[in-house]
Structure 1
Amino acid sequence: MEDAVKGGGSKVKFKAEPTRHFPRYKIPAFVEVDGKKYRLKDWSIGGCAIFDLPEEYLEKKWAVGNFVIPFDTFDAVIKDVKFEFLRKNPDGTIGCRFANLRPDQISLLQDVIEAFLEGVIVTLDGLINIIRREDLREALEAQRPQAPKRGGLEEFIRRLFILFMFLAIIGIGVLFVLKALYSRVYLVKAVSAFYDAPLKVVKTPVGGFFSFKRPVKEGDIVKKGQVLGFLKAPGRVSFVVPSSVTGKVVEVHVSDGDALEEGDPIISVLPESEKIRVVAHVLHGDVERLKLGQKVKVLRPDGKVITGRIVDIDRASPEPPSSRVVYDRLVIDVPPESCTIDDIGRVVSVEIDLTPQKLKPIFNVLP
């Protein structure tokens, strides 16, 4: 607000001093600005009056520094305070405002002021002396919000819950370590695996037009020497085509009237003396831990789990080249009733558990 007084042809102008919102106290303190310390005439939670501060700061309008309250054995420091310089007072001090104090910093200043007003602290030789440290501690603690006290049952339940969560975290960590140990040390997984069988293929002895004696389809049983059909060629004698093996037909490769060349397949047969087995490939480094007769777990695509046994191990070279990955071949016997000729070529998963008998009760609890 600006007032004017006229008289004698002259005019005097002046600004009213801004109203202070907080009472000032002569409690020892100083500010650090640009690496230099400046004493304070007085201060409040809203601002302070600074001795000997260069007037150039009034032109800068503001600066960032530290507000320090010196106790006899320690300093209380509020860092990175933004000082907003307002005016130069008649006594030469420069008044400034604290522009960015946080609630916790304001609370600290209030605690010091209240301790000063209650006589818990006194000023001497520019330092703050604590009459009784217990009184100051109690005064400061009294200003802080206290957590609501819990009842006996509520506190017991809270502690029980914390204990349960702590034990649960430990339990999950132990299970994770055991799972990793089991997977890396005691579980061998095949890189690839599928159903396979040693099929016999009945082929044409000569070229010509083929016709079945009677229809043959997958799943039929054929006998060795059984006439399958005939081959006829223009200007040639017809040839009888017999089955060279006894077994179950797995695939029919031709139809009546097809023109075939010598050696073309007619049917593929699973001999009655042979079985469908699983062929698996494992890393060369794992095969040394395997042995004939060892149980394996076969996981089918339909979700069924079958137990089989290793009946043959075809090892790679004892010293494989280190520049490539080498796999060894396993042949696994499975129950005949667990698969059909339709499964031949179907992909499965194979796992081999090498856990010692004494450790199995521990690993059996793993999910």
Structure 2
Amino acid sequence: MDENIQCRIKDKISEIEKKSANGAYIYRGEPEDYGKVSSSLWREYGLETDGFDIETIQSEMLNDAKKHIGDLSQDFSTDTVASIVNQPDTDETINFEILTEIQHYGGQTNLIDFTTDCFIALFFACDGYHNEPGRVILQKIEDIKEMIKTTRNPRHRVIAQKSVFVHPPNGFIEPHKDNIVIIPPNLKQGILQYLRKYHGISTEAIYNDLHGFIRHQDIHGGAYTEFYRGFASLKRGDEAKTRKKRKKWFKKAVKDFTQAIRLDPNQATTYVNRSIAHIRLKDYSSAIKDCDRAIAINPNYLDAYNNRGRAYLGQNDLGRAIEEYCRAIALNPNDAHAYFNRGVALLYIVEIEGEGAKEDLITAKEKGLDIIAAFRAEYGSVEDFEDRIMDLPADIVEMLTPTWPEMVT
């Protein structure tokens, strides 16, 4: 690991330890900024209006859940210690045990997971959304002690995660902003490696039961599995019908490819495919970095040059985009996509009046590429391109517009 990264990781850990040195704290890690520190039930509704009572919603949900349970006194009674000290279970304790069970299986409740271990919180802050900053929330126990609850029948995973639950009446708490430590995206992978090596905190240790594996199955698997998860997500994003769904799938593709890279950082193909997801999300800087890594591994990787050109084009750096496409053509003069990409880039340069662009598009077509389909996949229709970017010469419009029979098929 880079020495500078190691120093920055230690600085973040020191920051958390210093902030929590003046009292007893519990901790929560979030891989991205969810806004308010809130329960999953509150995030589902997210209302702060008169008349809205999240506890009423939870009560109705709880009553419905009980209809699916047999003998409550047997299934959800707390441990035998209660009877030994003559403290029988109450409706409140049984209800809480049911809520923790619902939470365990991924259901929505008005409970917020915290941990007594700052390193476990740090793990959760880094485990996912690798292009977004995570955060560790420090909450002083004294300030919310009436809301803190612990289960008397903890699951293995609750024990492993050193979990405590906060039950906020309004669905959220508001810790002081000074008690939130931001984890930059570029430190997440290094921190996960550090936690595994020095504290034994890892995915398999944190999600240490079969249901934990199932619930978080998307983070398990080898590099090959993760790569094809990413590839499938990328394909689903391209096929999605709405912008929201496309964005969702492309973000998942980035996450999947990132996991594959964590497991095997020496596969140029993974970086190239992640660069495509970044381009789809208009994160051109990240796409260029991925292509740089791919080329460092394999200097003759044609797709890396093509994708780096597409990223530069997205940044409106036309000169560098065209240079990348020229490099791709030099590597393989028969690559139709490189001619197509260079032709599109040349369209942006008004003084050439589209002549070079037309020649490249003709060459791409002659080499077997369906340039109409390729253009529509990348830019939409000619009308979309002209509305968003620039008007095209009439002969180029004719080349990129399907004839009526083509449109029908």
TM, length-normalised to structure 2: 0.17
Return the structure number with greater helix share.
2
Compare CA radii of gyration and give the structure with the larger one.
Answer: 1
TM, length-normalised to structure 1: 0.18
